[in-house]
Structure formats: structure tokens, C-alpha cells
Amino acid sequence: MWLHSLISSAIAATLLLHSHMQDGFPASSILYASTSLPFKLHPNGSTWTYTIIDQVCMGERQQEDPDLVTASHHDMLSSVLGAISMASRALQPCLQSLKQTKLQLLYIVYMGERQHEDPDLVTASHHDMMSSVLGGVHKEEAVSSIVYSYKHGFSGFAAMLTESQADQIAELPEVISVNPSRSVPLHTTRSWDYLGLGYEQPQPTGLLRRGNFGDGIIIGVVDSGKRIWPESRSFDDHGYGPVPSRWKGTCEVGENFTVNHCNRKIIGARWYAGGVDDSDISVDYRSPRDFQGHGTHTASTAAGSFVGNASFHGLGAGVARGGAPRARLAIYKACWGSNTRCPDAALLKAIDDAVHDGVDILSLSLGAIHSSIFASIHAVAKGITVIFSGGNEGPVTQTISNDLPWVITVAASTMDRSFPTLLTLGDNRTVVGQSILYESTDGGFKELADGGSCSRDVLNSSDVVGKIVLCYELAIASRSPPSQHFPLAASNVQEAGGKGIIYAQYSASILSFIDDICNGTVCVFVDYEIGKQIKDYVTNTRSPLVKVSQTQDMVGSGVMSPRVTAFSSRGPSILFPDLVKPDITAPGFLILAAVKDSYKFDSGTSMSCPHVSGVAALLKAAHPQWSPAAIKSALVTTAHTANAYGFPIEAEGVPRKLADPFDFGGGHIDPNKAADPGLIYDVDPEDYFKFFNCTYGPSATCALVGSRLYRLNLPSISIPDLKKTPLTVWRIVTNVGDTDSIYRAMVESPPGVNMVVEPSVLQFNASMTTHTFAVTFTPLQMVQGDFNFGSLTWLDDGKHAVRIPIAVRVIIHDSFSDTS
């Protein structure tokens, strides 16, 4: 932009000078002309050329003859081009200098496992490398170019480099990869009771009790840059014991954040501003303090302390707490600004510090982290369970993010709470919509208008001032999803003077938008069936009226749940089709949790992720010897695929459908069953590294595992390219239940596939705690097909059902696009 302004100013100045030097056109003859002078620059040998695109209005014609008018245009253009030629000659030296400028960008240099145990020696090796590459500069200058040094979980650094310097470093034998740092977006009173982790006096039951409320576990939260509001009641440390002695972190101070803001609940806080644009930092707190509320919400969901009488203006009232309310929190602020930019380099440093500090669980509610491939795998290798949100790009398929085999990727689903809002029409008929209308209405009827699509044109041609406006247009649904159209419709109604909006939509899980978008205006959602009833009433009534009642809470078995939300991103994974992703779903719709000094509803996989993080903390407390893979296995294999009535779980979308593994992985989280899974599918972290090396840098160890992810001992199987030849994969299960037990296989083959398990009976005792079995898949028809789904469940005497999801696609041709 600065170059654009420079050239524009130079051309404008030259034009002005030219008009005084010659008998050019008088400036007064121009009514308007764009001063931005949009142009494109093209390097052409030793010179630069550019194209200027603009419009000039000169008002009334000065000649009747059109040819004379055109001739005047040509004269003017010739004069302008002459002026621009002068500017061009003046600017050529500047442009040549610019062309030769060596632009520096922030690069991430990954070097794999540390070669020294001492972190200082790791950092020194980074300094030596930079000094060698930069050559001829003082070591201090080389060191200053390093923004972050990664020295705890792995070895690497982030530095400001030119492209040629990055290429030079990439050629060094000790370097695995060099990539530019990119930025990623950010991807609860009732929910914990709904998951069976209710706090019953005098003593809780189930996993909450077995895990001792998460006491002694440290959850690192790196899920957004708007990190923490320490004054929130959810972070009160009353009744907590000393900080765990193994904690090695720190409490970094900054703007409106002192060392006193850390306590026995928030035991550490760090912030990372290196490599972040000043424009993003300037609108944020230069400290771990929360800027907008997202971070406080997620942290309190995972491990918030007990807070009585929490609600959002009376809605959702109850005790707010986290899933592991006695766990400690470590805060890492790596994202900044109103647009929440999260540089890879900062996120990588946050994860590296978390490894050093001693966290047990890492919770990351944000978009796909490009650097997470090597950051998260090293964290898992150190015994840290890493949980990611799966993204909010649903219900479109192949939108799942953070789809790595060693992390837990979480989808979002609803729970048994809704917010019915009664609408009474002028003929005394009542219909029910959904809203979060917490302010008392005047109780009277208002005029009701049909706004159609609620476009500006439609509303401007109607009298909607002071009225409740019905937005009902079926054709809109095929062009724009409710999440995109509703904010526009609400804004149009407000601009037109409407008093409120009744918005007809298909189910899209957007109720949490209301408070931010409606901004005091009455907003109610209805489905198309109810919308049609209201539209018919308006059409057939001379003076239609409606009364909107205050929203009520509805909780319990009367609400059909869970359902996978419409916004929750779906599989299969584009990066790794050999994976079943997401791994699991958890509550992520209208979750009530802390935001600054109050409590608000929010929705997204950012909300479901900390639910799984809280449960993982309880599992780690109950089973401290379990690996991250064991915790993931326990969650996936005990998840349920049916609701409380035994109906299959549904997934919202267009249309609503029965959920499959690419919607919810193993199913909906069941914390108490996960505490006693019976069998687990464990993975040695070395197997991850073998796969990782094979995928991102072929090595001799590839053959030990193979390049296909279905060879890993994951609690799922995905085969995206089954052909005529039968394919066999192996799995190993470890008994963590009763010492003497017998499990029998129950097979649900994907349609069109024959699936055989050998052996089909597994017997465990004190000397036989693990078993290996084979699963062979054979296509029944040769077609260029799509994924079909099945499952394998190991059953003992009725106590355990250890289920893994299976996805298989039969194909004839490789690399075949299914665009039908």
C-alpha cells in the first residue's frame, strides 16, 4: 500500500506540474476523478511498466459534435500520459532499488529431536547456525534475528530470513524443514450434568470422584489469543492447596496483568508477541489478559472453579464449573487482535514452553495449525494429551481440521437444553420458536409484516417501521446458508426501522448469534413449517399482529439430543484419508461459561474441545500411568452412537441425517464409561515418528510401519482405496479391566464389504494382558464407490463394549474425482 501511495502521489504531483508548464486541460473542467490511481506494476527488463485503471467524469459536453467530444478525450489522455511518462522516469531509480530489496519473512526451522538435554545448549546451536548462515555479521545481529527458540519438546527456531537464507538453511543436514510462519483463526452449567458428571452432595460419583475433580492435573490452554480474565469467579483459588511442585512455568506480567493475577488456580501465564503485526497488538492487551472473552470461556469450561447462581440474564441458571474443577490452569497467549491472528511461530513456542512447564493436557480451540504436525507430536511423545477443536466449517464434507493421528480432534453437538419462545398471533394461535430473549417484553401485540427475503429492496418498498418482520423465503436457502443470510437480514430489518425479526430457516445451529447480531432487537428463529403458518396468517389477515413472550429454559429428556451441530466440520480428512476424523463429539452448542466478569453462551468446536480436555484431565488423574493414546482410546471406544431413547444420533445439515464416523468419530463422549474402558488401543510414540518421517521425509524406518495410517494401532480403521485384493490390517488391544476376562468380536461390516476378524475370541489373564488380531476386508462388488461405515465391538460378559468405527471405500481407479 505504501508503494501505491508513493507512486500515486508522484503521478498526481507531476500531473499538477505538467498542467502549469504547458497549455494542458484546465483542472476546473473535471468534475471528478479518482485520486487512488489504481495500477499494476510489471518488471520489464531494466524498467518497470504499469497499467492505470480509472474513470474521469467531465459533466456536460462542451461540443455538440460527438467526434469533437471524443477528440477532446484523446487530447486530455495524451496530456495525462505525457505527465505519467515524466513520473515514470522520476520513479525508475526508486523502483529499481525496491526490486533489489531483500524482503525478510518469519520462517520456522524444524530440526527434530533435541541433540542436547540442556535447553541452553540447544539455543546456542541455533545461534551458531544463524551466525554461520548470515556470515560476516556480528553474532549479536544473528541472535537478534531469531524470534523464538524451540528447545524443550524439540529443536528448532523461528527467525526473520530472506528467501535465499531460508533456502540455505534448508540445505543443512541437521535441518528437517523450513517453512514460512502462517496465521490461523480461532477455531456451562448444564453440559457437565448432561455428560453424567453432576456434582451430587455430599459426594459425587463416577469419573468426577475417581479423578478427584482433576486435582493435581495441569491443563495448558493455548486455544485462543484472547486468553484470560483472571478476576473471573471461575478462577478463584479458594480452598486450593499449593501449586504442584513439578510445575516449572512462570507468570509473565504485562499490561493490566501483574504477578498477583496468577494464583493457585491460574498457576502460570505467558504471552508471545514476537512476529505479530503491530496493528494486531495495538488493539489488544500486551499481556496474557483476555481481550474479547473466548479464552476465558474455554478455560473455565475445561477447569473452572465452582460458581453458584451463574446465568446469562437468568437463562441457563445453575452452578458453573469446569469438567475438572480442581485442575490447575496454565495460560499461553499466542494470538492477537480483533481478527485473532495466530502466527505459527508463536503457537509453536507456546506448545514448546508448555512441554517445559509440565502441563499434562493441552487444549487448543483454534483453526488448523500448520506447525502443529511437529509441535504436537513432540508434546505427545512427552506424555501430554493434546486436544484440538475440529473446526466450524460444517456441514460441508472434507472440512475437518487438525486431523493428525496422535491428537484428539473434537466435533460439536447439542445437549438436552433448548430455549423455547412463545409467539402468539392475532387470532390467538400460538407457535413456538427459539430465541434468547431475556429482557421482558411489554406483553402486548405488535404489528406483523411480511418481509419476504428481507433484502433492502423488499423492506424499502414495504412499511415495516415499528413492526415485527417475518423473513421467509425458501429460495434463499439454496443460495445462502442461515449463518450467512441471517446477519444480513437482521441488519436490513434494523436499518428499515423494524422492531423485531422472525426468521424462518432450516436447522443450522446459529442461535448463539442472536445476542451479538440482534443488539436489542427482538429476534426469534422458526423452521419453515412454522414460518409458512405465520406467512399464511399475514397474507390472509387485514391487520396481522404478533406477541413475543420472554424465552424460557427447557432442560431434560423432552429435548431430543445429542445432535451433531450443523457448523461442526466433517470428514473425511483431505490430508490423511486413512484416518477417521473427527475422533469424538462433545457439547459445543450454547455453552454457558465465563466471559470477563460475567457468563455468556457461545457455540463452536472451540466449546466442545475444552469439554474433552476436562474429561481427559479426570482420566489422567484417575489413571496417571495412561499414555495419550490410551486416553484417546478410552474416549473413542466407549462413546455412544445412540441417544437416551436408543435412537441413532443425528447430524444437522441439509438434510438432517443419521450421523456417521465422519460426523462424530466414535460417537458422543461418555466420561464415566471412559473411566473403565475394558480394553485400550495403545500406541508407542515411536510409531508416530516412523510414520511422520515417512510422510514428510522418507527414511529407512518407513518400512517398519508402512506409509499407510491404517497400519497404526488407532481406535478406528479407515481404508479409502479398497480394491479387488483383500486387505488385512492388524490391531493390538491391552486389557485394563478385570484380570481374567474373555472378549468376543461383534462385527458390523460396511455395506458392500465382507469383514472378518481373526481371532474372534480374546482371552486375558495375569500373564496375557495383550492380544493381536487381524481384520480382513474384501469387496463384494467392484464399483467406484463412496465411503461406507461399520464397526468392530469387543464384548465381555456384559460389563464392557469396546467399539471402534470403521470406514471403507471400494474403488476401481486411483485418484478418481467423485463430483456427482
Active site residues: 223, 294, 606
Return the closest-CA partner of residue 820 out of 782, 780, 785, 788.
785
Strand partners of residue 183: 343
Q: Which three cell numbers stand for residue 242?
A: 499449593
Angle subtended at Cα 481 by Cα 476 and Cα 486, rounded to the nearest 5 degrees = 80
| Integer Cα distance of 16 and 453 in angstroms | 50
Q: Return the C-alpha cell found at 558.
A: 423432552
In DSSP terms, which residues pair with 766 in a beta bridge?
none
User: What whole-number distance in Å separates Cα of residue 258 and Cα of residue 241?
Assistant: 21
Report yes or no: 369 and 375 within 8 Å, Cβ to Cβ: yes
**DSSP calls for 496-547:** TT-SEEEEE------GGGHHHHHTTSEEEEE-HHHHHHHHHHHHT-SS-EEE
* H or E stretch at 342: strand 342-343
Strands (E), 588-678: 591-595, 598-602, 650-651, 657-658
Q: Which residues have a Cβ under 8 Å from the Cβ of 492 and sit 6 or more positions away? A: 454, 455, 456, 459
Give the rounded distance of the alpha carbon of 230 from its chain centre.
24
Q: CA-to-CA distance for 608 and 568, rounded, in angstroms? A: 10
Q: Are 641 and 648 in contact (CB under 8 A)?
A: yes
The answer, yes or no, to whether the previous bond of 572 is cis (omega within 30 of 0) is yes
Count CB neighbours of 4 within 10 A: 13
The residues that bridge with 679 in the sheet, in sequence order, are 735
Instruction: Let me know: does 418 contact 434? Beta carbons within 8 Å.
Output: yes
As a residue count, the chain comes to 820
Amino acid at position 411, single letter: A
Distance CA 742, CA 794 (A): 9
For residues 340 and 74, what is the distance between their CA atoms, to the nearest angstrom? 50
Cell for 592?
Answer: 454457558
Sign of CA dihedral 626, 323, 568, 378: negative
Contacts of 38 (CB under 8 A, 6+ apart): 52, 53, 54
186 close to 365: Cβ distance less than 8 angstroms: yes
Q: Which residues contact 26 (CB under 8 A, 6 or more apart)?
A: 19
